[in-house]
Chain A
C-alpha cells in the first residue's frame, strides 16, 4: 500500500527561525494536504495542494506539490511560539471510493522563545 515518509520527526528551533519539513511517497497522489494538530485537539487544515508543481502560501506558511506528485514540502517562516504542535502531511487520490487520506508520521515542532 501507499506509504508516506515525513521528515524530520521532530524539530527544536528558536523563535524567529524558518522551518522546513517534507513528505515523500512511494506512489503518486493527486492532492497533498498539510495539517497542524495542537495537543488535545483535532488536526486543522493549513494548506491544500491540487496540482503538480503548485506553490501555495497561507500567511507565513508555504507549501509545494512536487512535480513528480510523490512529494511535498511545508515551510514556516519567522516561527513564533504558537507554531508549536504536530504537523502532518497527507496524500489523497481522487477517484477512490472515499477519498482516503494517507498520513505521514508527523513532525513535532518545538519553538523556544
Chain B
C-alpha cells in the first residue's frame, strides 16, 4: 500500500541548534502534508502543515519545505528547546476525508 518514509528515527540535538526531519511519499496525488508532535501519554497535536500549492511555510520556529518533484517534504525546528523533545510524525493525504498516511515517527531529544 501507500507508504510515507520518515527519517531519521532518532534525532539528538543540543539546545539552540536546529533539527531536521525528512519524509518521502509515493502517491503523486498527495496534496496535504501535516506534521504532528506527540509527547509521551498524549495525543498527536498538529503543529504545522503545508499544501501542495506551496513550497515553504514558516510559523513559530518551524519551517516546512515541500518538493513535489522529488515527493519529499521536511520539517525544520529552529533554535530547539528542551520542550521540543517529543515524537514527530509526518503524514500525507490526497483528498479531503481520505485517511492520512503517517510516517514511522522521529524521536527528537533536545539536551541542555
User: Are A and B genuine complex partners?
Assistant: no
Residue numbers of B with Cβ under 8 A of A are none
